[in-house]
Structure 1
Amino acid sequence: MALSVVDLYRDVLPKTNCGDCGFSTCIAFAGMVVSARHPLDGCPHLMPETVARCSRELGEQYAAGKWTQRDLAEDALKWAVERSASMNLADLPDRIGGSLVERGAGPALKLPYFSGHVLIGERDIQRPDGTDLTRWEKVFLFNHVAQGGTRRPTGKWKGFEAFPNTVSKVKTMSSQVEGPLADRFHGRLEELVGAAVRIGGQDHAGVENGADAAFFFQPLPRVPLMLLFWDEDPSEGFSASARLLFDETVTDHLDIESIVFLSERLRQMLCDAADQARQRSIDNDPIQMPGMRL
């Protein structure tokens, strides 16, 4: 018998709205259990046998997809895998770069990815040490496998907004990538430089760009990108700003969504590298307070 939100609330939960589960009401907790597969034992007031019985019923309706929210990442990954399924691995090195290698699960494409590599098989992607990537990273990489053309970068750089069909995503690029980078590294130029070097960036400051910091990244063999950063100048009333530039051939290799994802991934890697370095400095110098600029 399937358990709806109302069934779970009315017949199973204590209806006390105590908040011990982390939700403000029992009905809110029930909604998350039914639609988002939140663990039923998150309610500490249920008997173990009740949890076991209801979990079996919930498991059956989860498997049938009844009342559950769609897992967008999983749906996107299935689509990307199917999209790339017709690709012949042996053709990929000439088309997108990398080299073929043998592994226990069969042949794979060893593809440079930022400062490391990934192993791309017919239906999965892993790092050489066997650790997994996020599902969204896999979506992005499978899409690259399916779309990537043979065109080589020309060295002609463009802002994201200069490419066709980016109007709906320009705001995302600003709010999720360039704006957060400016906010994170304003007044901390040395932190940005250190983080960029740690994730494989090549210093291009002063190379006809006039930026305070400029770094060239090669996240994929045929997909370079450039980060320009101008630090704040309070005396002149200038705020910090960041801008990503892409080779004019990027849309031969990635769709617009994938370009945004790659940009968001770069932002995350830079911020993580800076945060890790900052924490190491604090650990080595306990006199420094976490809120101090290094």
Structure 2
Amino acid sequence: MFFSKLVMAALAATVLAEKTPVTPLLLANFERYAAFASAAYSSDCANPPFNSTVVRYINDVPTDTQATLFRDDIAQQFIISFRGTSDIQDFVTDLDQVLVPCVAQGIQCPTCLCWQGYLIQYNAVANTVKSAIDAGLLQYPGYSLVVTGHSMGGALASLAAASLDGQGLPLIAYTYGQPRTGNQAYANLIDSAFNGTMYRLTHTNDGVPQIPAQSDGYRHHSREYWQSDDPPTIENTFQCQGQEPSDCNQSEPGYGIGNGGIGINAAHLSYFGISTGNPLDPNAAC
């Protein structure tokens, strides 16, 4: 019995040891793109993050899907940032959680299923987003592309990344407080397409990454990076292993593994020291 307990303790320690602190460069990037994710909540960003320029506001009125395309001439980047939940129409979309075939331009995966509401939203702006990015890269051919978003915007960013990558656009993606977006096949697609270039950020006990439940057929893709405490430091921000790591965001009290999420809470409204998606502070990063 004693030996069994020692083995179990050793195994537990091994699992926890897989969680490793991030580098200063990674932390700086997480903070940087959190600002762009926050800025997408503003429809008139007077002071875009890092002295960037707003190239275009994209808004599909029927689905209330909004994204902002930024250009950062210092970093030589285009950043497309998708807005998260902001109004009643968005909450309707949030509730449309039926898994349906993940059909979008560039996504070649017959077994992939995605959140119906978010798939409808992305497809409503997909052509406009692609055209705006293409036009920007044509004018600035040496610039790179980053895709980001918070909450619902994180799910849209995940779909956009898969779609744009499938259409031949190299990119890096950062999602913040992203809910589960698709099924196991979709998670596997993201993992195979983005080997280390898709960062899924979570914050302390944020409840949104815990929904929808795995028991409903949903699965997170890998590369979770968890900010376990405030303020963010390299000592409390970790790279987590696997698609559903139990020692990061899911380790917080009140969560079962993959189930029992509580949705929006205080931790969801702040990422890497930046107010994000807070209805009382919609222009936080602008």
TM-score (norm 2): 0.25
Q: Judging by fraction of residues, say which structure has more strand.
A: 2
Q: TM-score, normalised by structure 1?
A: 0.24
Instruction: Report which of the two has the higher share of helix.
Output: 1
Greater relative contact order (CA < 8 Å, ≥ 6 in sequence): 2
